[in-house]
Amino acid sequence: MAEVFYVGVDVGTASVRAALVTREGLLKTTAEEPITIWKPQPEHYVQSSTEIWQKCCSVVKVVTSGVQSDQIRGVGFDATCSLVVLDESFQPVPVTQEGDPQKNVVMWMDHRAAEQADRITNTGHRVLSRVGGVMSQEMQPPKLLWLKENLKDSCWDKAAHFFDLPDFLSWKATGSTTRSLCTLVCKWTYCPPGGWDPSFWISVGLEDLLENNFSKIGSATCSPGSPLAGGLTPQAAADLGLNPGTAVGASLIDAHAGGLGVIGADVQGFDLPCEGWPITSRMVIVCGTSTCHMAISEQPRFVPGVWGPYLSAMVPDLWLNEGGQSATGRLIDHIVKGHAAYAQLQEQANQRVPFTGANIYSYLNSHLAQMAGSPPAVDLLGSSLHVWPDFHGNRSPLADPTLKGMVIGLPLSQTVDDLARLYLATLQALALGTRHILDSVKEAGCDIRTLFLCGGLSKNLLFVQIQANATALPVVLPDQSEAVLVGAAILGACASQDYEAIEVAMEKMAKVGRVVQPDQELKSFYDRKYKVFLQLFSHQREYQALMKHQ
């Protein structure tokens, strides 16, 4: 009997990726294509759903080129939680002042709707209890309100379908407008089993979305991985190079696909504190451009500044809480590439191996090791340099998009050593931000014993080690480096009904690769550094208050 495969498609911030995945969760082939990001105004970030779908088709054809199409049992999609706008004929509607219809996606990191988000928060509506009490401008209601108030004629009045990007992809593949509970619950205020709360939309001035049983934003829902319609439509099958009717699973937000690809792994034999405990003792950290921190529980837990509890948003019948950091990989790039010694760093790195963006960080890691002389001493190089990492606002647990970054302890010199120390201090600040989120969910009753990391930053072993050291928790890295793609493929496997439940597919297809233990000798160092970290926040609030009084 021929081997069977599943295709996972991941639409990230700047690229589309696909993987051919075996029944055991092993990646056979992968492919990647860049996608365009436009920034027409400050804080506005837009994309094209047409281009995104074209790139999806391109990468799927590459990864499936070596197998027969009838060996592909299922397809799963994940994507960033960006907002796609289409008209009654499902054609793109512009989301920019210039009116280019191809620019019809408001990206997740678009912060144009800050004022609308504040107004929604100030309503104090009961749905806000499930988003930590504060409506983030990265969620869809404030973006919808901004479009209505600023692009009424060119966008709002023409729009007939508002999709989260993961749901757009599953619609494009199957023709089904059924939305995934992952997207609607996490980003749109939908709450099963009751569904939409009409009073919320009326209270924020979006009462027109109630028409036709909320048809513009989704009147039918299902759990992630549920089979959609009759699978691939003939048109989508032709676009992707697959067979019509191939099963397609209801989609996930990209971070949640990463969670699905790691959280269910069998940990027996790895001497982890979560062994023998339910998966509610695990936190998934999906770290890339930004970072999501996800914990699941059997009972709903309300955590100030942390999104959720969301029922069945990742794992059926379990509640999800989701913290996050709006800029992580993006912040590291900003700190390193903006430093005066960056050109010198590039030159030094290039002398060792041909230059790539990735080996800048491997070079920095080895440079820090040389500066320190021994592994524990690397962390200590950051003892007099402290960073508050919210250069793009704080998503969790403070839920304050107005916060800015801070650096304390800069010298007058600007050498490569100085750059390396600042890079280290930034990694430490991000890890202390994880600790800040962990403290918040623990106070709400979550018993987190082990961290599971995936995403681009999890390939940086210094970043991973510092996450372990700063939180005093072991970190599990997945066997397959692209856990998000494995998670997307799990959706296809579930839709094909080769596995009877998503939990079974998670356990069979997700595997532990490596365990990184915290360095216990550094516990007191990070306890002290965490106190400084929290003081930086207090000082920033004091500065803000002083300036307001002036």
Q: According to the model, what pLDDT value does residue 129 have?
A: 92
Distance CA 330, CA 467 (A): 17
Instruction: Please indicate, yes or no, if residue 474 is contained in any of the structural domains.
Output: no
Distance CA 377, CA 58 (A): 47
Those residues with Cβ within 8 angstroms of residue 504's Cβ, 6 or more apart along the chain or in another chain: none
Instruction: Please indicate, yes or no, if residue 47 is contained in any of the structural domains.
Output: yes
> Residues 202, 118: one domain?
yes
Distance CA 275, CA 251 (A): 29
Distance CA 488, CA 225 (A): 9
Mean pLDDT of the residues in the chain: 95
User: What residue numbers bound the domain in which 391 lies?
Assistant: 328-435
> Residues 225, 367: one domain?
no
Q: Is the dihedral of CA 201, 207, 213, 215 positive or negative?
A: negative
> Residues 348, 201: one domain?
no
- Tokens representing 188? 């749109």
Name the residue type at position 456. Answer: G
Q: Which of 486, 474, 489 is nearest to 511 (CA)?
A: 486
Q: What are phi and psi of 469, to 5 degrees?
A: -65, -45
Distance CA 32, CA 44 (A): 25
> Residues 89, 205: one domain?
yes
Q: What are phi and psi of 513, to 5 degrees?
A: -105, -50
Q: Is 73 helix (H, G, I), strand (E, B) or coil?
A: strand
Q: Of 203, 229, 252, which closes a domain?
A: 252
Q: According to the model, what pLDDT value does residue 141 have?
A: 98
> Residues 211, 334: one domain?
no
Instruction: Return the CATH number at 166.
Output: 3.30.420.40
Instruction: Please indicate, yes or no, if residue 155 is contained in any of the structural domains.
Output: yes
Q: Which of 337, 308, 534 is nearest to 436 (CA)?
A: 534
Question: 75 near 173, Cβ under 8 Å?
Answer: yes
Q: What does the pLDDT look like over 367-392, one tens digit per residue?
A: 999 999 987 789 999 999 999 999 99
Q: Is 192 helix (H, G, I), strand (E, B) or coil?
A: coil
Instruction: Please indicate, yes or no, if residue 308 is contained in any of the structural domains.
Output: no
Distance CA 62, CA 79 (A): 19
Q: How many helices (H) and strands (E) does the chain have?
A: 18, 20
Tell the residue number behind the tokens 């994880």, with chain if given. 434
Number of domains within the chain: 2
> Residues 33, 182: one domain?
yes
Q: What does the pLDDT look like over 112-159, one tens digit per residue?
A: 999 999 999 999 999 999 998 889 999 999 999 999 999 999 999 999
Helices (H), 195-341: 198-203, 211-214, 234-240, 254-260, 329-337
**How many C-beta atoms surround the C-beta of residue 120 within 10 A?**
28
Instruction: Return the CATH number at 367.
Output: 1.20.58.2240
> Residues 84, 218: one domain?
yes
Instruction: Please indicate, yes or no, if residue 218 is contained in any of the structural domains.
Output: yes
Q: Which of 521, 339, 481 is nearest to 17 (CA)?
A: 481
Each of the 550 residues of the chain gets a pLDDT tens digit; together they read: 789 999 999 999 999 999 999 999 999 999 999 999 999 999 999 999 999 999 999 999 999 999 999 999 999 999 999 999 999 999 999 999 999 999 999 999 999 999 999 999 999 999 999 998 889 999 999 999 999 999 999 999 999 999 999 999 999 999 999 999 999 999 999 999 899 999 999 999 999 999 999 999 999 999 999 999 999 999 999 999 999 999 999 999 999 999 999 999 999 999 999 999 999 999 999 998 899 999 999 999 999 999 999 999 999 899 999 999 999 999 999 999 999 999 999 999 988 766 555 589 999 999 999 999 987 789 999 999 999 999 999 999 998 888 999 999 999 999 999 999 999 999 999 999 999 999 999 999 999 999 999 989 999 999 999 999 999 999 999 999 899 999 999 999 999 999 989 999 999 999 999 999 999 999 999 999 999 999 998 888 888 788 876 5
Q: Of 435, 468, 498, which closes a domain?
A: 435
Those residues with Cβ within 8 angstroms of residue 440's Cβ, 6 or more apart along the chain or in another chain: 303, 304, 305, 306, 323, 396, 397
> Residues 359, 225: one domain?
no
> Residues 101, 221: one domain?
yes
Tell the residue number behind the tokens 């009751």, with chain if given. 194
Helices (H), 444-522: 461-471, 483-495, 502-509
Distance CA 230, CA 235 (A): 13
Q: Of 435, 451, 474, which closes a domain?
A: 435
> Residues 85, 199: one domain?
yes
Instruction: Please indicate, yes or no, if residue 320 is contained in any of the structural domains.
Output: no
Q: According to the model, what pLDDT value does residue 2 have?
A: 83
Instruction: Please indicate, yes or no, if residue 507 is contained in any of the structural domains.
Output: no
Instruction: Please indicate, yes or no, if residue 58 is contained in any of the structural domains.
Output: yes
Residue 142: left (phi > 0), alpha (psi -120 to 50), or beta? alpha
Tell the residue number behind the tokens 């009073």, with chain if given. 199
